[in-house]
Amino acid sequence: MKRIISALIISLTFLASCSNDISLMPGISFLTPDPEVFEETAIFRVIGQPFSSIDSLTIPVVFGGTGEKGVDYDASADHFTFKGDNLTDSIVISTRELGTGKTVSLSLQIPEGFAAGKYVSSEFQLQDKYGYLNFESARAFIADTTSYVISLTDSTGRTKALSKEAAINFSVNLEKSTAVEGVDFMLLDTVAISFIPGSAYTEFRIAPMGSGPREGKNKIVLNVSADDRFNTGEVAEMELNILRPELKALDGKWRIDTLMTDSLHFEKIWSSQCTGYSLVPEFSAADMFEISFLEGAFIPSFPSGFKYYFTGRSNVEFGQELEITDLEGKTKNVQLMSLDKTNRYFSELETSTDSLSFIGIYLYQLEETQQDMMELYILDHTSKSFMPELESNGTYAAEKPVATDPKLYLSATFLKN
């Protein structure tokens, strides 16, 4: 409807210009300086004015440009025709091969007795491919049935909707994947993944199978492939890592609830053996972080002293479970996660050259409210700010995670937003 209204406005503008500029004889012109371009076609339209009707008028066309008719493109006609009251006509150019970069021009040969209107020639470049296919993320975690998005963009990165349905090449990379389709996961609704008309996005769904990944069988690698219609963008490959179903609650934002290990806690344990207790991170109600399964990332937001440990957005890797003793003397299994943007020195003044550290996560729910809760344990640091004596005394373990002793780790509880 918008295109029809636009065409009418352009027509009225053209008619007005012809009435002012070529009042002595009828004028013939392209409706617009450029054709209307779709995925594989372009429509050149002409209009005549100010005569009301004509028995029949043929308007020859000269084809030019670097493209060759019948080789690079096809044309629905080699002339325009006016008949009776119908003083408009069109020629459709159909591109044979996308992405050649060749041009097509049409020039009107105005018949004797008629005047040239505003636009007597028009040119365009044969269409590039439909666009660039990109996954929404290069790396993600999956613990439950999840939908993921594939987008279509132009060469500038802007999303680009198609005017017609178009299926894409989508596949599981068998060489890179360790998980097996039909055993470890299922692709749902993927007989054909297509863009629908008017949309620059399409989705697919994946469901992990079983109670968790088999050992060494947790990686799914997916690809979108270029063909004669689509290019591939920067994110043409997506790696999904399968997690245990009970870890799906991790995905999201977490806000601090209780700080378990403040300065008084450590001073009570170590007493006069150490110094710098005032530099132990204290509680801040604004402390929070996000674990994004879609981006495979840990995204910290700590105004408190924890900012000297969680120094930036980290890529996450999930390790094995680790048995620890909590602050109440109970043993429990925590999920190990490695983060690659930490300062192991826990210091404002000194930064560790090794930025990879481990934290432990323990998930549970409050019985009364079913609120998702988390105990977070910082199990891997060699502080040079608070209690620096512990490093020189050889208190830390020799291998990561080095601070799994309950006397060393920092702990807080978080609730899910």
- Same domain for 276 and 229: no
- Same domain for 335 and 219: no
C-beta of residue 248 within 8 angstroms of C-beta of residue 143: yes
CATH of the domain at 33: 2.60.40.2030
- Same domain for 208 and 258: no
**Count of structural domains within the chain:** 3
C-beta of residue 157 within 8 angstroms of C-beta of residue 191: no
Domain limit, last residue, from 186, 210, 243: 243
- pTM, to two decimals: 0.81
The 8-class DSSP code of residue 157 comes to S
- Same domain for 344 and 288: yes
- Same domain for 383 and 303: yes
- Same domain for 377 and 253: yes
Q: Which amino acid is at 331?
A: T
- Stretches where the chain sits below pLDDT 70 are 1-25, 50-53, 190-191
- Same domain for 267 and 403: yes
- Same domain for 376 and 260: yes
C-beta of residue 160 within 8 angstroms of C-beta of residue 147: no
C-beta of residue 369 within 8 angstroms of C-beta of residue 338: no
pLDDT computed for residue 263 by the predictor: 96
Beta strands in 294-395 (DSSP E): 297-301, 314-325, 331-339, 357-365, 372-378
Q: Is 84 left (phi over 0), alpha (psi -120 to 50) or beta?
A: left
Give the domain extent around 184: 131-243
pLDDT computed for residue 55 by the predictor: 83
- Same domain for 318 and 196: no
pLDDT computed for residue 23 by the predictor: 41
For a pLDDT cut of 70, what percent of the chain falls above it?
93
- Same domain for 78 and 40: yes
pLDDT computed for residue 189 by the predictor: 75
- Same domain for 185 and 92: no
Task: Give the three-class secondary structure for 285.
Answer: coil
In whole angstroms, how far apart are CA 374 and each of 110, 132, 166, 281, 289?
79, 40, 44, 19, 12
- Same domain for 261 and 196: no
Task: Give the three-class secondary structure for 124.
Answer: strand
Domain limit, last residue, from 177, 208, 243: 243
What backbone torsions phi and psi does residue 307 show, to the nearest 5 degrees? -65, -20
pLDDT computed for residue 13 by the predictor: 47
In whole angstroms, how far apart are CA 78 and each of 68, 93, 97, 300, 337?
14, 11, 20, 65, 68
State the Cα–Cα distance between residues 367 and 280, nearest whole angstrom. Answer: 32
Domain limit, last residue, from 243, 270, 285: 243
In whole angstroms, how far apart are CA 357 and each of 174, 325, 337, 338, 339?
32, 19, 8, 6, 5
